[in-house]
Structure 1
Amino acid sequence: MIATSMQQVIITEPGGVEKLAYETVSIPEVNADEVLVKVHAFGINRPDILQRQGLYPMPKGVTPVPGLEVAGEIVAVGDTVTQFKVGDQVCGLTNGGGYAEYCVVPESQTLTIPQGVSFVQAAAIPETFFTVWANVFQMGKAKTGETLLVHGGTSGIGTTALMLAKSLGLKSFATVGSNEKVEAISHLTDAINYKTQNFEQVINEKTENGGVDIILDMVGAPYLEQNLNLLRRDGRLVYIAFLGGAKAKDVKLGQIMMKRLTVTGSTMRARTTAEKAEIAQGLQTQVAPLWAKGECLPMIYQTFKFDQIQAAHACMDTGEHIGKVVVEVL
């Protein structure tokens, strides 16, 4: 029997980790196309941090409760749900509300957890894998044999992109902020400490000035010139954030034209249900088999208990994490 009430995390007002608090509320009811998940674990992501700071609010009409990915057991299904049943172990990309003991997830954004994958690992899958699959492999059209540069290589997004690149036959480079981080992902990529080395120079040396085909960038304006310099003809520059600055000056439009470059970007939050469903389908058919073999499973940096949400956010705030931060609810 499902309980009637649950605890969830709320943001009392924009600010630091002290603005995160708990409240007891009724368990949400499922709509026809949703499943209700008893949450065993959920991931902490950069959009959650920005939301807490008041910089990335939920869309109008969507729950203000943070949390974009959960893993757990289905305890109820909507009337039109056909792919899942009560008792299934799943992870899913939520539309918010993941920081809770129960969460509703659209059926089309829900994935079956492969056998042998833990709830903690599964909780770290949806947000980063949806983001990387959509941006690098759908929009960026990455294919076997190409070369990918990932800025922020030890973030959850970064490690996900590098793991997928390795498994799917792409060569990669990554920028990181310390020698410790270089070592931490050395098994996945050719990492460069941007604080001590010029990444453009290093990559040119290692590619004999050949450059790269695709760049996944979350830094933004400070790297634009070097990114454009490094891209090969028909290269793709894909933005998913601009943590270093959103406005760039003196963009070399001629270089974009001569190289036939594509510059694009997206946010997951603004995508439609149909778009997210398409991403989920791609993951289910092309990436889930890798998870089942033990490949491309998230790198877990640290786990916290449900009553340690402030500590979990503080961990993310330091920027020292390598991989994902996850909260265990059960």
Structure 2
Amino acid sequence: MRRVRHDHGSLYIESAALPQPGPGELLVRAEAIGVTLPVVRKVAAGEPVELGGEVAGEVVAVGDAVTGFAVGERVTGLCFKDGYAEFTVLTEAMASRIPDGASAVDAVALVRSGLVARGAYEAARHLAGESVLVTAAASATGHIALQLAHLGGASRVVAAVGSADKAEFVRGFGADEVVTYGQEGWGEPVDVVLDAVGGALLSPAIAALAPKGRLVAFSSGGGTIQAYDLLVGAKTVIGFQMAMIAREQPALYAAWREELWELHGAGKIRTAVAVELPLTDAAKAHELIVSRANLGKVVLVTS
């Protein structure tokens, strides 16, 4: 089979033996692979990270002790190793069925990014009538977060993006207002900020909060917050990590996942795919995300 590897930030294709599923694992023939920002950042930095990601496709073999899935079923899930490959291994606990009528691309665009958006929104303890600002609003997670804020009864949804040419896109997913990172001030203060960027954007994101506002930090971008910036407005920063929910609250994780499919099936949440690229163009997929040129999810396909 073909798989993508990386060396000091460079991605390349190689031939590899077909993996075998171990106990509690599924071997999946990948149809679509979702590219994730944390992996892109680590590859760009030359870190020795595994190329994991969201994978969707057909189960072709199951390991011992697998009880919930059978050969021939279509599944999606997050894998932590060799995700950029024609065949990959998913643990049964991380896999879920793709509903009839949904494509593999639908699955990688909705499930993981949607779960992160859903979890971050839940962590904010948003109340109907409160305003919400979403950073990286044109991203795979951001454009879903905009829609969840509207569904939750937000009085005003603000999209923060890197450039004004993304305004039409985010307005199409429910943004009432659009601000760019470089502008001075982000308009009227908001009650909630869902921050997927971190780093240098933390300060303006905190400044955008109204008194007693909450910022949910779920970015891999790091950054520093000055305590005084929180004290003067009695503001709060909440850290959110989806992996912890998946590990410690699997029933909640599954409930959110089913809710996302229901909302998608009812047309209440739409997904945007920026581009579908062949597996051999993995480097180009990473470049799109590094340059912030993508509007929605970047997906690799195997055929």
Task: Using structure 1 for the length normalisation, give the TM-score.
Answer: 0.81
The 3 A distance-change label for structure 1 pair 133 and 57 is farther
Q: Which residue of 2 aligns with 1:11?
A: 6
> Is residue 147 of structure 2 the alignment partner of residue 163 of structure 1?
yes
Q: Is the 8 A contact 2:114 2:260 kept in 1?
A: no
The 3 A distance-change label for structure 1 pair 294 and 106 is farther
Task: Report the alpha carbon displacement of residue 90 of structure 1 after superposing the two structures with TM.
Answer: 1.5
Q: Which residue of 2 aligns with 1:264?
A: 238
Paired residues in the alignment total: 301
> Is residue 24 of structure 2 the alignment partner of residue 33 of structure 1?
yes
Question: Hey, what's the Cα distance between the residues in 1 that align with 2:82 and 2:249?
Answer: 17
Task: Report the alpha carbon displacement of residue 29 of structure 1 after superposing the two structures with TM.
Answer: 2.1
Question: Hey, what's the Cα distance between the residues in 2 that align with 1:194 and 1:316?
Answer: 17
> Is residue 152 of structure 2 the alignment partner of residue 174 of structure 1?
no
- 5+ residue gaps, structure 1, are 1-5, 59-63, 205-210
The 3 A distance-change label for structure 1 pair 77 and 316 is same
> Is residue 136 of structure 2 the alignment partner of residue 152 of structure 1?
yes
Question: Hey, what's the Cα distance between the residues in 1 that align with 2:245 and 2:163?
Answer: 37
Task: Using structure 2 for the length normalisation, give the TM-score.
Answer: 0.87
Q: Which residue of 2 aligns with 1:281?
A: 254
Q: Is the 8 A contact 1:175 1:199 kept in 2?
A: no
Instruction: List per-residue Cα deviations over 1:64-83 (Å, max 9, x = no partner).
Output: 2x131011111122333333
- 5+ residue gaps, structure 2, are none
Question: Hey, what's the Cα distance between the residues in 2 that align with 1:173 and 1:277?
Answer: 31
Task: Report the alpha carbon displacement of residue 118 of structure 1 after superposing the two structures with TM.
Answer: 1.6
Question: Hey, what's the Cα distance between the residues in 2 that align with 1:222 and 1:110?
Answer: 35
The 3 A distance-change label for structure 1 pair 295 and 98 is farther
CA RMSD of aligned residues (A): 2.6
> Is residue 281 of structure 2 the alignment partner of residue 308 of structure 1?
yes
Instruction: List per-residue Cα deviations over 1:84-117 (Å, max 9, x = no partner).
Output: 2221112112223210111111222222222322
Q: Is the 8 A contact 1:167 1:296 kept in 2?
A: no
Task: Report the alpha carbon displacement of residue 328 of structure 1 after superposing the two structures with TM.
Answer: 0.9
Q: Which residue of 2 aligns with 1:3?
A: none
Of residues 186-195 and 149-158 in structure 1, the stretch that sits farther from structure 2 once superposed is 186-195
Question: Hey, what's the Cα distance between the residues in 1 that align with 2:295 and 2:79?
Answer: 23
The 3 A distance-change label for structure 1 pair 267 and 117 is same
SS in 1 for 2:121: helix
Instruction: Give 1:93-112 correspondences, 5 Å limit.
Output: 93-112=78-97
**Amino acid of the structure 2 residue aligned with 1:304:** L
Question: Hey, what's the Cα distance between the residues in 2 that align with 1:228 and 1:196?
Answer: 15
SS in 2 for 1:219: coil
